[in-house]
Structure 1
Amino acid sequence: MFNTRNNDRLACDADRRRVLEALAVLAGAAQYPAMAALADRSHRTGGRRITDLIGANGWPGSASDIAMWHEMGISWGRDVVGPGQSNSPDEPMRIDKTGTSYDVDLPSVLVRNNRNGIRSLLLLAYTAKWNALVPGDTKSAPVNVDAWKRYVDAVVRKYSSPPFNVRHFQVWNEAAGRLSGGLPQSTFWHGPGFNADEMRSAPYERAMQDYVDRIHIPAARIIRSYHAYVVYGGWPDQGGLDNYSKWLEYRSPVFQERMLDWVDYIDIHYMSVKDLDSPYEKYVKRGPARGIWQTEIGYTYMEDPHYLPRYFFDFAVWALMRDWNDANKFVSMIYHWDGYQPFILTHRGPPRRTFNPSGRSLIVLCKTVGGPLSKCMAPLQFESDASGSALRSGTDIVIQVRAAPGWRTVVAAGVGASPTRATDVRLIDAVTGEQSARDDVVLTREGDGLKIRFRVPDQTNGRADKPPRHLAYIVIRTHS
């Protein structure tokens, strides 16, 4: 545990950054009217929305892209900034590009994001080839730490200021040592013994010590000096959460501080909602971290069209039970929104960009639970071959159900409909948004609760190579 002085310092820094963030967002809202609603919603008490949780890797590149992001409820983007000093320490520092090939103009992206209520996470990475411990390897530890610090300072100094007002910066990507899946070195963090042929690569024994001392704390100190927030680089799913905790709590002999003391947002990659429990309980519930994110989820998991709607609905239910008092406290970012694979959110075209099933499922989710979210404490009792969870969206009760074909039943205790008000129930396909026939869902009273019988179609919307399962929303709406 850090001492009282450190506690007071961190609390004071956090309060100062929180005030400055609010002022920056509100200033942006004044400059860009489209941001006003976002600024108001993000800084008032309560009123959390499903869109607060949803981000994507990459940026929208046009007005039509932005419209599609809004339809899918994507409120965060994430990408790298550079290229820095690519060829020598004597060349000018270039930090005006983004994208995997550094071929997209970053300042215009950030201004466009601000105008349209999209928040930006800038990824600080990687090493210039001339400064790489592993010759020519941009994923290598740096030889000269000062060169890394110059890059970080240039990025944060520029983009934390108006008109960009970026408040969140991510340090590296998936730095780890030996992985439980068998890799001797992490894909994005290389050191002595690395070989492109995995079978010939040796473990990087000081991987995390070097990361903490040479990358994370130096960068985090700079980020906080500009009153911005530090996002961990994303712990890979093969790294093990116990191992992650070990290194978060590692005390650097160079700085005499833990890495955890320099992390505002805990971050893991490609894990389930239940995997968030342990880091939340350890580091967020009572601090020192402000929140827990996943800056990469999805990819081939999205071959299952149920994956994203189940993930984000479960994430919202989870967050509502864990003091979701800040719009930025819990975020997950989809990898990737744009491409040619049939499971990515959108297909690039030609002739034009279209939604894939995963993207359509987000549209359905955001339309169905588009109101202010709150807990639904009613216990749910499902019969066999059906399961699900519930929340409140505005005055609606929404139950997400996953079930086998045929007639199924769920009872929600303690939410009996008012005898003086009409209660409507609907069954909505979670992938297509199609509403079932009225006769396919029946609502009756059962004691102090409600009993819903619903018919799952024979043609389900799950994966064809799995047992037939259908994902849908039961929406219970009371009318005056």
Structure 2
Amino acid sequence: MYRILKSAGRRRALGTIAALLGAAFPFARARSAPTPTKSPQARDAGGRTITEMIGTNGWAGTPRDIAMWRQMGITWGRDSVGPGQPDSPTEAMHIDKTGSQFDNDLPSALLLNNRNGIGSLLLLGYTPPWNATVPGDTNSAPRDVRAWTRYVEAVVRKYTAPPFNLRYFQIWNEAAGKLSGGLPQATFWHGPNFSEDEKRAKPYEHAMQDYVERIHLPAARIIRKYNAYVVYGGWPDQGGLSNFCKWLEYRSPASNERMLDWVDYLDTHYLGVTDLDPLYDQYVKNGPARGIWQTEIGDAYMKDPHFIAEYFFDFAVWALQRNWNDPNKYVSMVYHWDGYEPFRLTHRGPPSRTYNVSGKSLIVLRQTVSGSLASLANPLKFGQGASGSGVRSGNDVVLQVNAAAGWRTVTVAGLKRPSAGTLKIEFIDALTGTVSAPDALTTTWNNDGLQLGFRVPDRVNGAGNDPPTHLAYIAVRPLA
């Protein structure tokens, strides 16, 4: 089931594709990274790079897939683990498969990730039919919590140990009660009064307490016992942030513990970058959470060819202003890197996998913003018909601009002309990487800083947007 609403001028995903006993990752397999050495989970602290925050759902299954992930700058993957004990509490525990139908080998995918510097996030879920409080419903609360903890213990014990050495585990997916978007029960957390017919469904009155006490706290204790990190189970965008905060701060009557005290990384789905401000201010700036992830972004939003490049550039600008002191502090994962729809990052073929527009835009972003990142302290003053933001990437200043066709201007206030050497300034199409002819740029240095004029082509790369605009980079690169 998949739906889109228009709200406050932008689309919001109301749901995801439900898959039996799976994590809603229909084409799961692997993921790519900058260098084939150690994974992001073990990288040393230092200058941040934009690739550290780029992830996707699924695993890359072949060397060719890995190469394509590396081209796009993807350094994280996320998928399911199971199927656990799907048929009976007496059967052997099965935790070596992944994917929506648990038909792909998980250990080989994780080892491939490790060899190629890719971080792996394992999603723990859901309830086997025989243990469901809603008969046969794998998205419902378990009747016997011990069955859930047996599964979690088996997964975490195995995959935190060599040769896997995983440290990041996500508990469930999009568990919530009544949603501010209108649904009486969340897509992946069902209880009494649930019905697939929304008109007949009623709210799950104890949704929060049952999730905290039956799912989150038991799993989180096991994860931390193995010195691993707890990633919250992806709060749905239509759930409302104020409602999310209530869940995080809910104190279990049984144990007198808040769920928040057993969360290392907050996680939401399909929110805009600025929507994350309240979570940072309340829970990350001074603790207790270590960071903020979004383990699902994109999807049908990527029908807008500008979406994914704008999102990650904005996310980097945002993170640089919020103490991005750890490579794993801020991560977002595209849903999905692989598929048949033209808005996925790649088209799987036949005859062979190719990049879609969104995937190409990630390649251009990685190539253009390739250095160690720092905030751009210089204010930007855009003329009419243009807007944007900027970062420092190594020795470069890179602006991402969104503008209407014709000549546009921007001033980088206070930027000083280098006393030695020369500058190379380029106007780069954000979707194709095409560099405009030199006469598409004018430069003027004065006491105000660097004044740039740039000619946006008549045929803009966001022709289908309202209004049509062009997404591009202006790169100011010093030459010795």
TM-score in same-fold range (> 0.5): yes
More helix per residue:
1
Which amino acid counterpart does residue 397 of structure 2 have in structure 1?
I
Residue in structure 1 matched with residue 272 of structure 2 by the alignment: 272
Structure 2 vs 1, CA of residues 103 and 305 (structure 1 numbering), >3 Å: closer, same or farther?
Answer: same
Equivalent positions of 1:8-407 (< 5 A) are 34-36=36-38, 42-44=43-45, 46-407=46-407
Cα deviation code 1:363-397 (max 9, x no counterpart): 00000001111111000000111000000110000
User: Does the 8 A contact of 1:304 with 1:463 survive in 2?
Assistant: no
User: Does the 8 A contact of 1:305 with 1:463 survive in 2?
Assistant: no
Q: How far does residue 39 in structure 1 lie from its aligned partner after superposition?
A: 7.2
Separation in 2, partners of 1:94, 1:204? 31
Structure 2 SS opposite 1:166: coil
Residue in structure 2 matched with residue 16 of structure 1 by the alignment: none
Residue in structure 1 matched with residue 469 of structure 2 by the alignment: 469
User: Does the 8 A contact of 1:416 with 1:448 survive in 2?
Assistant: no
User: Does the 8 A contact of 2:40 with 2:52 survive in 1?
Assistant: no
Structure 2 vs 1, CA of residues 83 and 232 (structure 1 numbering), >3 Å: closer, same or farther?
Answer: same
Separation in 2, partners of 1:36, 1:214? 35
Which amino acid counterpart does residue 458 of structure 1 have in structure 2?
D
Q: How far does residue 466 in structure 1 lie from its aligned partner after superposition?
A: 2.2
Structure 1 SS opposite 2:179: coil
User: Does the 8 A contact of 1:425 with 1:442 survive in 2?
Assistant: no
Separation in 2, partners of 1:446, 1:406? 24
Cα deviation code 1:392-415 (max 9, x no counterpart): 110000000000000000000111
Separation in 1, partners of 2:246, 2:342? 38
Which amino acid counterpart does residue 69 of structure 2 have in structure 1?
W
Structure 2 vs 1, CA of residues 465 and 399 (structure 1 numbering), >3 Å: closer, same or farther?
Answer: closer
User: Does the 8 A contact of 2:85 with 2:128 survive in 1?
Assistant: yes
User: Does the 8 A contact of 1:404 with 1:456 survive in 2?
Assistant: yes
Cα deviation code 1:63-107 (max 9, x no counterpart): 000000000000000001000000010000000000001000000
Structure 2 SS opposite 1:198: coil
Which amino acid counterpart does residue 269 of structure 1 have in structure 2?
H
Structure 2 vs 1, CA of residues 62 and 469 (structure 1 numbering), >3 Å: closer, same or farther?
Answer: same
Structure 1 SS opposite 2:423: strand
Residue in structure 1 matched with residue 447 of structure 2 by the alignment: 447
Separation in 2, partners of 1:425, 1:34? 32
Cα deviation code 1:413-436 (max 9, x no counterpart): 111211432112100000111000
Residue in structure 2 matched with residue 15 of structure 1 by the alignment: none
Residue in structure 2 matched with residue 437 of structure 1 by the alignment: 437
Structure 1 SS opposite 2:238: coil
Which amino acid counterpart does residue 390 of structure 2 have in structure 1?
A
The worse-fitting range, judged by mean Cα deviation, of 461-470 and 210-219 is 461-470
Cα deviation code 1:2-56 (max 9, x no counterpart): xxxxxxxxxxxxxxxxxxxxxxxxxxxxxxx93248677x213x31000000000
Cα deviation code 1:434-464 (max 9, x no counterpart): 0001100112102151011000001001141
Separation in 2, partners of 1:35, 1:418? 37
Q: What RMSD over aligned residues (CA atoms) do the two structures have, in Å?
A: 1.1
User: Does the 8 A contact of 2:41 with 2:119 survive in 1?
Assistant: no
Residue in structure 2 matched with residue 23 of structure 1 by the alignment: none
Identity %: 64
Structure 2 SS opposite 1:476: strand
Separation in 2, partners of 1:38, 1:206? 38
Q: How far does residue 187 in structure 1 lie from its aligned partner after superposition?
A: 0.4
Structure 2 vs 1, CA of residues 67 and 188 (structure 1 numbering), >3 Å: closer, same or farther?
Answer: same
Residue in structure 1 matched with residue 457 of structure 2 by the alignment: 457
Consecutive aligned runs of 4 or more in structure 1 exceeding 6 Å deviation: none
Scaled by the length of structure 2, the TM-score of the pair is: 0.92
Separation in 2, partners of 1:420, 1:132? 70
Q: How far does residue 166 in structure 1 lie from its aligned partner after superposition?
A: 0.7
Count of equivalent residues? 446
Which amino acid counterpart does residue 121 of structure 1 have in structure 2?
L
Separation in 1, partners of 2:179, 2:99? 27
Residue in structure 1 matched with residue 409 of structure 2 by the alignment: 409
User: Does the 8 A contact of 2:230 with 2:263 survive in 1?
Assistant: yes
Residue in structure 2 matched with residue 8 of structure 1 by the alignment: none
Which amino acid counterpart does residue 55 of structure 2 have in structure 1?
G
Residue in structure 1 matched with residue 20 of structure 2 by the alignment: none
Structure 2 vs 1, CA of residues 365 and 164 (structure 1 numbering), >3 Å: closer, same or farther?
Answer: same
Separation in 1, partners of 2:420, 2:76? 43
Separation in 2, partners of 1:105, 1:126? 18
User: Does the 8 A contact of 1:391 with 1:397 survive in 2?
Assistant: yes
Residue in structure 2 matched with residue 420 of structure 1 by the alignment: 420
User: Does the 8 A contact of 2:40 with 2:328 survive in 1?
Assistant: no
Separation in 2, partners of 1:36, 1:337? 22
Structure 2 SS opposite 1:455: strand
5+ long unaligned stretches in structure 1: 1-32
